[in-house]
Structure 1
Amino acid sequence: MRLATFNILHGRSLVDREVDLDRYARAVADLDADVLALQEVDRDQPRSHGADLTAIAADAMGAPHHRFAATLTGLPGVWTGATGDHQPNAASYGVALLSRYPVTSWSVLKLPALRGRVPVVFPGRRRLNMVLDEPRVALVAVVEAPGGPMTVVSTHLTFIPGWGPVQLRRLVYRLADLPRPAVLMGDLNLVGSRPAQVTGWHTLAEGLTFPVADPNRQLDHILADGPLRPTSDSLSIDTGVSDHRALVVEVEQY
């Protein structure tokens, strides 16, 4: 089984700063994932040609089972928090999860959010910025994988220092009663081995994923709890889309 996680930057390429839907579809197809977690996904947004980027990815990889969970509704700059549910007829932004294997259940988990603006110093800058974080959710599926039921999660954690581990611990707690093995994939905005240390889960894939052209840190992760192990070296792939590389690994249940 091939797993992949990819922060797609709403399909935009840093090569020409354009959103080319055909290029995006090729990028997803080339990953050849059986289960794919996506972050920074648009639906009905003018900047991505009003497309449903989850549906395009599903067609490209041949995944009949897929969901999108909105975190923000409306246009960039004026959008507001969404429920995390599929909201028809609304421009939205969020996370997605796609599977070639049957899915027996879907759920959306809201993650704890900081209220109001908080002070943040961004890397490479000296000035203190007061920032308002966006809502965060986890999209959860129970997949009928070749080795039996498996829980799979796609999420995108906050960039605000110190708060990502809080969200991650809460998420793991809420996944405790779901089938094992469980896989957590996404842009966790935590570097290196930190997610494994916070969760107690084991790392399935290692590779520098950000920034895309010359990556110097791993923000994107694939973690597991239960009898799941990699069967190959993981790959960090520059797809020609996004400011992140995709992270891919072959795994098996045992």
Structure 2
Amino acid sequence: MRIATFNILHGRSLRDGRVDLDRYAEAVRGLDADVLALQEVDRDQQRSHGADLTEIAAEAMGATDHRFAATLRGHPGLWTAVSDHSQPASATYGIALLSRYPVREWSVLTLSMRNRLTPVRWTGKRWWSLARDEPRAALVAEIDAPGGPTTVVGTHLTVIPGWVQRQLVDLHGRVSSRPRPLVLMGDLNLVGAEPARLTGMRPLVTTPTFPVEHPRRQIDHVLVEGNLHAIGPGRAVDTGISDHRALVVDVEHT
């Protein structure tokens, strides 16, 4: 089974600043993932041509089951929170999880959020600025994988220092009773070994993923608990879109 996580930057390429839906579909198809977690996913947004980026990815990879969880509604700069993940009809933005294998059960978890302005130093900037957090969520799927039932969690954690650690620890605790093996993956906005240290989970891939052209930091992760092991070295893939590389690893149940 091949699993992957990819922050898609709503399908935009830094090379020309454009969202090309055919290029986006080809990027997803090229990963050849059986289970794929996506972050920064648009639906019905003008900047991504009004497309449903989850549906495009599902068709490209041949997913039999998939789910999109909206965390924001409206348009960039005019966002409002989506608190109940009820898939509003308006333009939305969030995360997605897709599987080529049947999903027994889906659930969406709303993550804790810091509700005040907090100093943040953005990547590549020397100064700090005040930022307000945005809603965050996790998608949980119990999948009928070839080696047996597998729980997969896809998420995109906050950029707020200190709070991101709290979110991860809280999320891990909330899925601790789910069937094993358990995979937790996504853009965790935590560097290197910190996610493994905070959760006690095993990292399946250790390689830089950001920024895309010359990655220096790993902030995208695939963590596991239980009898699931990598059967080869994972890799970070420059797909031609996004400011992140996709993280891909082949695994088997043992």
Q: Normalising by structure 2, report the TM-score.
A: 0.98
SS in 2 for 1:142: strand
Q: Partner residue of 2:38?
A: 38
SS in 2 for 1:192: coil
1: CA distance, partners of 2:88 / 2:26: 26
| 8 Å CA contact retained: 1:84, 1:137 | no
Q: Partner residue of 1:12?
A: 12
2: CA distance, partners of 1:242 / 1:123: 15
Are the structure 2 counterparts of residues 86 and 54 from structure 1 closer, same or farther at C-alpha, using a change threshold of 3 Å?
Answer: farther
Are the structure 2 counterparts of residues 97 and 84 from structure 1 closer, same or farther at C-alpha, using a change threshold of 3 Å?
Answer: farther
| 8 Å CA contact retained: 1:2, 1:32 | yes
The C-alpha deviation readout for 1:109-138, integer Å capped at 9, x for no partner, is 011100121122334434331110111100
How far does residue 207 in structure 1 lie from its aligned partner after superposition? 1.4
The C-alpha deviation readout for 1:70-105, integer Å capped at 9, x for no partner, is 110100100111125242421000000000000000
Amino acid at match of 1:131: A
Amino acid at match of 1:225: E
1: CA distance, partners of 2:97 / 2:124: 33
1: CA distance, partners of 2:46 / 2:140: 28
| 8 Å CA contact retained: 1:205, 1:222 | yes
Q: Partner residue of 1:113?
A: 113
Q: Partner residue of 2:66?
A: 66
| 8 Å CA contact retained: 1:234, 1:248 | yes
Cα RMSD of the aligned pairs, angstroms, is: 1.0
The C-alpha deviation readout for 1:207-233, integer Å capped at 9, x for no partner, is 110000000010100000111100011
2: CA distance, partners of 1:16 / 1:43: 21
1: CA distance, partners of 2:61 / 2:251: 18
2: CA distance, partners of 1:70 / 1:62: 22
Are the structure 2 counterparts of residues 86 and 30 from structure 1 closer, same or farther at C-alpha, using a change threshold of 3 Å?
Answer: farther
Q: Which runs of 5+ in 1 are unaligned?
A: none
2: CA distance, partners of 1:127 / 1:212: 22
The C-alpha deviation readout for 1:24-77, integer Å capped at 9, x for no partner, is 000000000000000000000000000000000000000010000011010010
| 8 Å CA contact retained: 2:73, 2:88 | no
Amino acid at match of 1:104: R
1: CA distance, partners of 2:8 / 2:78: 21
1:191 aligns with 2:191: yes
The worse-fitting range, judged by mean Cα deviation, of 84-93 and 203-212 is 84-93
Amino acid at match of 1:51: A
2: CA distance, partners of 1:93 / 1:159: 17
2: CA distance, partners of 1:191 / 1:128: 19
Q: Partner residue of 2:49?
A: 49
2: CA distance, partners of 1:15 / 1:124: 18
Amino acid at match of 1:221: H
Are the structure 2 counterparts of residues 112 and 192 from structure 1 closer, same or farther at C-alpha, using a change threshold of 3 Å?
Answer: same
1:214 aligns with 2:210: no
Q: Which runs of 5+ in 2 are unaligned?
A: none
| 8 Å CA contact retained: 1:13, 1:243 | yes
| 8 Å CA contact retained: 1:140, 1:153 | yes
Amino acid at match of 2:51: A
Listed as ranges, the matches of 1:26-175 within 5 Å are: 26-83=26-83, 85-175=85-175
Q: Which runs of 4+ in 1 moved over 6 A?
A: none
The number of residue pairs the alignment matches comes to 254
SS in 2 for 1:239: coil
| 8 Å CA contact retained: 1:69, 1:84 | no
Are the structure 2 counterparts of residues 84 and 203 from structure 1 closer, same or farther at C-alpha, using a change threshold of 3 Å?
Answer: farther
Amino acid at match of 1:24: Y
Q: Normalising by structure 1, report the TM-score.
A: 0.98
Q: Partner residue of 1:22?
A: 22
Residue identity over aligned pairs, in percent, reads 62
